[in-house]
Amino acid sequence: MSKPSVSFTLSGEIYLKSKRTQRRFFTLLRRNLAAAISIDVSALNRAQGNRIVFHGDLDDSQLEAAARVFGVSMVEVGVELPTVDLDEISAHVVEVWGEQAASGTYAVRVRRRGEQAWTSQEAERVVGAALDRPGNRVDLEDPDHLINVRVDDDTTFITKRRLEGPGGLPLGSQEPVLCLISGGFDSVVAAWMLMSRGCPVHFVHFGLDCAQADHAIAVAETLVDLWGHGSDPLVFLVDFQPVKDALRAEVEPRMRQVALKALMATAASELALSEGIPAIVTGDSLGQVSSQTLTHLTAIDAAATVPVLRPLLGMDKQSIIDLARVVGTEALSARAKEVCDLSEGQPVAVGARPKKVAEAAQRIDHPVLAKAVAEAYRFRISEWAPGAFPIGDAA
């Protein structure tokens, strides 16, 4: 007897890991999938071929959430039945696909594991013949209806619908990182890329009178809601306006922008170290603005006390925006304000050496920076509500 089921195929690179690592990744993936579709983890079973199977029905919102779980390459909705013989498999395929495939073109693909008395090609011919109707025809190149049947020893799965997953590594399989989130396109895409490699991402936003604290956290929350299943990141909200005011008073206009970024890197590093987070992440793209020239990025690295990861370094702006659309944050990020301009209309430095940048940043009294870090709001993203933390535009 067939029963409705959903099959989750793991990302191909998971199978390249050691058996021990595969087991750990599998455990994480089950946990994250259970969180995504709001079911008990015990309802997700390991199937042959290192797949995960849920026996039952899931609604569209659950399926779409499952297709945004890192480590999943494919979500297949269908029916599962015991493997008996080709005639019975064909009868079930006709039951599932007969009406839909009665018109247009179709093709049958059978994947087989184990010992059967027939080959995959023989099964495709028998099942295909059972679906033959006056109003349809076989097209092996580009069919209207592609019918997938997977036979694993004593179990057969007939796919009715497929959703592509993101692949990557299960969230939580790598060390955490702290992302400097602005609310624009770049930083949220950078966070997403690290999440796709298994890193839980926490966030820090530096509140300024020209920034949008609530907007930035809303972008981060959207990212977590869509892709962060199984996680509840920390958020640090730092009032950086006193640091900016000190920059205006103590640093020449042409050096303020890069000095501000260096000070942010220093502050973010201190927060990361306080939480045992081994690296920070930025949305820098090489040459995009004056603070992102190679010389200035090197100077910012020197100001940080933990490694700085830049997954967007070689991407252009349009490619980043296109990826933000895939992530689901493009429309929200498009409403972000421009970054703060501290140059007062004067030319800005584009190639100041690390020593000069450090000298500019060191003009800011250490107590000003230390106070900003010490008084940062620290909370879980699930605890956030607009206006809850009066910094920057929320004041």
User: What are the structural domains, with CATH classification, of the chain?
Assistant: 3-164 (3.30.2130.30), 177-394 (3.40.50.620)
Side chain identity at residue 292, one-letter code: Q
Q: What is the pLDDT of residue 153?
A: 83
Going by DSSP bridges, is the β-strand pair 177-180/201-207 parallel, antiparallel, or unpaired? parallel
Q: What is the pLDDT of residue 273?
A: 98
Whole-model pTM: value is 0.90
Query: Do 289 and 348 contact (CB within 8 A), yes or no?
Result: no
Extract the residue ranges of the chain whose pLDDT is less than 70.
Answer: 1, 49, 210-211, 337-354, 360, 365, 390-395
**Dihedral (CA of 275, 216, 193, 164) sign:** positive
Residue 386 gets which letter from DSSP? T
Write out the E strands in the chain: 3-10, 44-47, 51-55, 72-82, 104-113, 136-138, 145-152, 155-164, 177-180, 201-207, 234-239, 280-281, 308-309, 377-380
Instruction: Locate 303 and state its tokens.
Output: 């100001």
Q: What is the pLDDT of residue 152?
A: 87
Q: What is the pLDDT of residue 344?
A: 57
State how far the Cα of 77 lies from the Cα of 24, in Å rounded to an integer.
25
- How many angstroms separate the most distant Cα atoms in the chain? 83
Q: Which residues pair with 154 in a beta bridge?
A: none
**Dihedral (CA of 103, 104, 108, 109) sign:** negative
